[in-house]
Structure 1
Amino acid sequence: MNVLITGGAGFIGSNLARFLLQQGVDEVRILDDLSTGSSENLNNLKVNFTEGSILNFDSLKDVTEGVDSVVHLAAIPSVPRSIVNPRASHEANTTGTLNVLEAAREVGVGHVIVASSSSVYGSNPKMPKSEFDWTRPMSPYAVSKQATEGYALAYQYSYGLKALAFRFFNVYGPGQAANHAYAAVIPKFLDAAMNGRPAQVQGDGEQSRDFTYVETVCAVIHQAVLNQTSSPDPVNLAYGTNTTLLALLDDIEAELGFRVSREHTVPRAGDVRASQADNRRVRELFPSVEPLGLKDGLAMTVEWFRSVAEKAQQA
């Protein structure tokens, strides 16, 4: 089996590439323009890497030719980044997705997985959030992700392309960068704590998230690729946890073994207050995948951060 991962040099993509190779996938191709990913994430991985953009349709078609499945992860991530530059998010996330689907259709690839986001639920207060609940995006990023899943499912109805739109929640784990302005909350908290800085908590810290360990995400996607799974509706890729940022800091303190100081800042525009997945659909479709709990996932993530710090000190 041959698989193309767009955005495969990023955090989730590189973890997925490693996981697929470990599971015996014949060829993993990666297309990434390295705007947010890094070629260092692919060190020691036997992948077929092409540096390029999903906005370049000709090169996208070339790298898509001959694969069995496309896992489309390439995007400009982050709610605040989209608020600063909504046009860039639209072009990469919406037009880019259309290009991926058109390339798959033109070269005859029959299965495409796309990455949507829990952010599409937006201002809907219902908890946990089911795929059949109404959505109301609160940021340009969320709108672009709703378009991503909408295009994929429309191609399934219109052209018979097998499509699966996963709504990612808060994915975390080894390899997630902390050294940029739009870093996710777990690497940001860990980086601050391990370098003696206060963890910056936006707002009161009572906003909640459904944290999902990256290897759990990879295991689900691997099963979806293996079985060519499709769905007429989006599927939450999360397992129904509900952890506030303050509780997350408590868990991080327990894992690190020391107190982490906190500094509260203004709330972030476009942020969802509470997020928790209804996990019935993902469990129905992928019953063999058992998610890793937050405590164990944090332990493995902290171990990775410590190993990176040790290597930096030795360099």
Structure 2
Amino acid sequence: MEILITGGCGFIGTNLVNRLLSQPEVERIRTLDNYVTGLRRSDKNERVLEIAGDLRNYEDVLHATEGVDAVVHLGALPSVPRSIKDPRSTNAVNIDGTLNVLEAARANEVKHVSVASSSSVYGANPTLPKIESLATLPLSPYAVTKLATEAYTNAYSTSYGLKTIAFRFFNVFGPLQRADHVYAAVIPKFLAALKNREPLIIFGDGEQSRDFTSIHAVTDALTKSALRSVTSETPVNLAFGTRTSLNGVVSLLQELHDRPIEVQYVDPRAGDVKHSQASSERLTSLLPDVMQPSFVEALKEVYDWYMTA
């Protein structure tokens, strides 16, 4: 079996490559990346083929997709704040790029496509936990592009018979997640600040909560859905119903850290959702054996990784 991962040199993509390499039935893995947020692999493996290309270029995507059995579409321009600053670029990469992936998969008769959506599509809907049938009320251009990503994917299933599944990611974290850019996620930002003996910056009062999800759960679900050709007519939450405030994360980090942690609270950011928590019923019905590491264990793992990296 041969699998293409778009955005395969990013945080989730790199971890997914490592997970797939442990599967003997996966003979070859291709990654398609333009290296804007991703990094080239330093450890070369004959089973991994890196392809430099851009999702906005259909020919790049068509070439990368030729001959593969499955596509995992992770490539995107991430970040709510980035999308507010530059909505056109986010739209071009995330929506036009997704359409190119789906068209290339259809043209090359790919057997299965999974795509990454986001919990941000729920937006202003206050209901908890987030059930996939809830109304979506995006608060940012990024969230709009992710809603379009999953809608296009489901439409290609009903219109063309393409086997697909769209996962809504919830605040994924773990080893290899970068903190060295302005749009980094909150946990790597916290850990980088701790390592550099700097204060942790929190936008708002810190009581906003997230369903933080271990990278190992995400790569396990993506791997099993690709190998088993798991499909869904509707999007699927990829999280497990936990909810931890940012202040709660700080408290847990303080238990791991040997120095007092300083926190600075600043004004809230536009487009940020106050609370997020998934219903995992649909996920566990489709993938009953999906890995579910505890948040405390996963946080300790990534803390140890950052402190020694």
Q: Does 1:62 pair with 2:24? A: no
Match of 1:5 in 2: 5
Moved beyond 6 Å, runs of 4+ = none
Aligned pairs for 1:216-231 (under 5 A) are 216-231=217-232
How big is the shift at 1:290? 2.9
Q: State whether residues 201 and 263 of structure 2, in contact with CA within 8 Å, keep that contact through their aligned partners in structure 1.
A: yes
Give the unaligned 5+ runs of structure 1: 309-315
Match of 1:19 in 2: 19
How big is the shift at 1:253? 1.2
TM-score after normalising by structure 1: 0.96
Q: State whether residues 179 and 189 of structure 2, in contact with CA within 8 Å, keep that contact through their aligned partners in structure 1.
A: yes
Q: Aligned partners of 2:60 and 2:184: how far apart in 1?
A: 29
Q: Aligned partners of 1:255 and 1:21: how far apart in 2?
A: 32
Q: Aligned partners of 2:193 and 2:55: how far apart in 1?
A: 34
Deviations 1:120-157 (A, max 9, x none): 00000000000011110000000000000000000000
Match of 2:292 in 1: 291
How big is the shift at 1:44? 3.9
1:60 aligned partner, one-letter code: V
How big is the shift at 1:188? 0.4
Report the secondary structure of 2:113's partner residue.
strand
Q: Aligned partners of 1:73 and 1:191: how far apart in 2?
A: 24
Match of 1:71 in 2: 72
Deviations 1:209-250 (A, max 9, x none): 000010110001111011101100000000111000000111
Identical residues among aligned pairs (%): 49
Match of 1:235 in 2: 236
1:7 aligned partner, one-letter code: G
Q: Does 1:208 pair with 2:216? A: no
How big is the shift at 1:55? 1.2
Q: State whether residues 255 and 298 of structure 1, in contact with CA within 8 Å, keep that contact through their aligned partners in structure 2.
A: no
Q: Aligned partners of 1:123 and 1:269: how far apart in 2?
A: 12
How big is the shift at 1:115? 0.3
1:133 aligned partner, one-letter code: L
Q: Aligned partners of 2:291 and 2:111: how far apart in 1?
A: 28
Match of 2:103 in 1: 102
How big is the shift at 1:175? 0.2
Q: State whether residues 216 and 291 of structure 2, in contact with CA within 8 Å, keep that contact through their aligned partners in structure 1.
A: no
Q: State whether residues 221 and 291 of structure 2, in contact with CA within 8 Å, keep that contact through their aligned partners in structure 1.
A: no
Q: State whether residues 173 and 187 of structure 2, in contact with CA within 8 Å, keep that contact through their aligned partners in structure 1.
A: yes
